[in-house]
Amino acid sequence: MNLRTAAVGMVLVATASAQAQTSLTLPDYRLQPRQLAADTWVIEGAVDDFSRANGCNIINTAFIATPEGTWVINTGPSRLYGEQQKAAVARATPQPVKRVLSLNLHPDYFFGHQAWAGVPTAALSGSIAGMQAEGRAYADNLYRLCGDWMKGTESTPSTETIDPARLPQTLRLGGHALELHRLSGHTADDLVLLDATTGVLYAGGLIFADRVPTTPHADFDAWLASLDVLERWHAQGRFRTVVPSHGPVHSGLSGLQQTRDWLRWMTGLMRESAERGVDLSELLRTPVPPRFARWAAQPAELHRSLTQWYPRFEQQALQAR
């Protein structure tokens, strides 16, 4: 091998090494906006549980881009996601982003806010209080679960308060009638956005599809009542397409029915088990019905829910004796 060939080889190796380092330090979520309706895009996350393999990207984010400006819905699990989301929005539309909405207090709804500095980031007042109270713990957990994907991420709660007392409210954006509603159950403050113009419902965490619902802030009775409200809206013809925060985008009520079925089964299991004096360790070995068995995050999410909530059902059963 002559010196020139050796030198070229060294350059190629150095270039490949630099590219590999860049790849390691700047992971790529490969965000691909998909158009759902006029002016309406969704960026779909993995139907899965948080992991390094998916970069903790298990959320659906979205944006509505009109000649009068753009709204972004949820900003993902990390600073990096927010930056790549911002770039994806810019590729799809030249219109400026006027508002960012977070539909609840969970971290993948707002941990991308750092990328949207200078844009109003809005959420319900209760959600903002939760972001402020729990943001550091969320960050610790996601750094542990997702490692390098989280580099440079800091909890950045929403800055613009949506007053629940002023909801429901309809705002206009480029010919779209955007309805803001406050429901509850998945959390104490679940913001729901209904685009009455396109018939697209952004249901947040109230609806899961093909995935076990998460329940750390749940009120099961309120959640089921909120699902009844959404079902009435569908019967009235107010929406056709559902964008859940977790699970496939779908038409109709399939995700709503899955979520309701799961909540009724799980709470019934806990209630009946508590009445029979079943121990938590035994309850955790309960097999799920076949209709749920292939859902994502199974059985981990069920075990988290049972561990958190079963002691309350046991207490209720003891008080009733």
CB-CB contact of 269 with 286 (8 Å) = yes
Domains belonging to the chain, first-starting first, are: 29-320 (3.60.15.10)
- The answer to whether residues 106 and 144 touch, using CB atoms and an 8 Å cutoff, is no
pLDDT given at position 9: 47
Return all residues near 291 (Cβ < 8 A) that are at least 6 apart: 261
pLDDT of residue 25: 61
Q: Residue 18: name the closest of 30, 8, 26, 29 by CA.
A: 26
Average pLDDT of each block of 10 consecutive residues along the chain (321 residues)? 45 44 70 98 97 97 97 98 98 97 98 97 98 97 96 98 96 97 98 98 98 98 98 98 98 98 98 97 97 96 98 95 80
CA distance 61 to 42: 6
State the DSSP code for 167.
-
pTM for this entry? 0.91
Note the pLDDT of residue 26: 73
**Tokens representing residue 29 in the block:** 């979520």
Report pLDDT for 8: 40
Contact between residue 78 and residue 37 where contact means Cβ atoms under 8 Å apart: no
